[in-house]
């Protein structure tokens, strides 16, 4: 799997490649990362990559030509016709399902915009996918790219200490798309607060029922849209519905 990053600040990615559990994905070569600075493909002594927008207005717009040259160099270096992803508020929000698709892919070219945006002509000609990290604005696409890379890297075989760990993440199909339950560790009592008795019972069926109920309750309280989606898809059983009916009205 290969990701090529187009960014004016490639140095932002360096610490990410050698820190945390996801570094295993990059050190092992499971996820191959190549960094490209469009300034290296710009003209003139100043290597200009932006200019004022036609029609006036604040800010600057990234030039199409340096980006196109950069992309051409990437395409020449790759052996596949990689999709070109732009992080933009126009795209659908990044979800776990989307991450799973990318984690099983051959990779992509990730374009990190800056300033007021990118010349639309580059987008129209080359961009195949747009992804949003959420309904807020960042100063550039680098953080969004890092988020996607981290989410993809942790799903690669051998990256997590427990191979099945990610199966119990929030939003995972293994949890029927529900939020995850609370987790506890030693000591059994901390500052007067005890670990729930069910988790100390040693009764695996009881423990799993407690965890399931907690997932249902948290999802009902915090993300009722996810609960409704699970219900519509037929993922909730009779015990689930019985527990939900026992909860006090929101």
Radius of gyration of the chain (CA): 23
154: annotated active-site residue: yes
Paired tokens of 109: 């070219």
Catalytic residue chosen out of the listed positions 2, 114, 154, 211: 154
* Backbone conformation region of residue 173, classed left if phi is above 0, alpha if psi is from -120 to 50, else beta: alpha
58: annotated active-site residue: no
Question: Rounded to whole angstroms, how far apart are CA atoms 179 and 227?
Answer: 9
47: annotated active-site residue: no
Question: Rounded to whole angstroms, how far apart are CA atoms 68 and 48?
Answer: 14
Catalytic residue chosen out of the listed positions 89, 150, 196, 231: 89
Catalytic residue chosen out of the listed positions 65, 100, 116, 180: 116
Question: Rounded to whole angstroms, how far apart are CA atoms 219 and 227?
Answer: 6
Catalytic residue chosen out of the listed positions 169, 209, 223, 235: 169
- Taking alpha carbons only, the member of 221, 222, 239, 241 closest to residue 231 is 241
Dihedral of CA atoms 146, 148, 149, 155 in degrees, nearest 10, equals 140
Just list the catalytic residues. Answer: 89, 116, 154, 169
């Amino acid at each position: 799997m290969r990701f090529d990053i187009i960014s004016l600040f490639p140095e932002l990615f360096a610490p990410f490649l050698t820190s945390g559990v996801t570094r295993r994905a990059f050190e092992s070569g499971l996820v191959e990362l190549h960094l490209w600075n469009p300034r290296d493909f710009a003209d003139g002594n100043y290597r200009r990559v932006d200019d004022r927008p036609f029609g006036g207005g604040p800010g600057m717009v990234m030039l199409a030509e340096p980006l196109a040259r950069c992309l051409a160099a990437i395409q020449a270096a790759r052996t596949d016709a990689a999709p070109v992803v732009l992080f933009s508020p126009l795209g659908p929000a990044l979800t776990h399902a989307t991450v799973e698709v990318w984690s099983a892919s051959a990779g992509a070219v990730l374009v990190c915009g800056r300033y007021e945006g990118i010349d639309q002509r580059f987008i129209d000609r080359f961009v195949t996918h747009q992804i949003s990290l959420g309904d807020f604005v960042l100063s550039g696409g680098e953080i969004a790219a890092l988020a996607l890379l981290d989410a993809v890297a942790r799903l690669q075989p051998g990256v997590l200490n427990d191979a099945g760990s990610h199966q119990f993440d929030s939003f995972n199909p293994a949890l029927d798309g529900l939020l995850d339950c609370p987790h506890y560790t030693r000591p059994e009592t901390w500052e007067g607060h005890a670990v729930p008795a069910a988790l100390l019972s040693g009764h695996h069926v009881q423990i799993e029922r407690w965890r399931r109920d907690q997932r249902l309750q948290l999802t009902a309280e915090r993300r009722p849209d996810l609960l409704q989606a699970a219900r519509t898809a037929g993922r909730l059983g009779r015990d689930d519905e019985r527990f939900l009916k026992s909860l006090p009205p929101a």
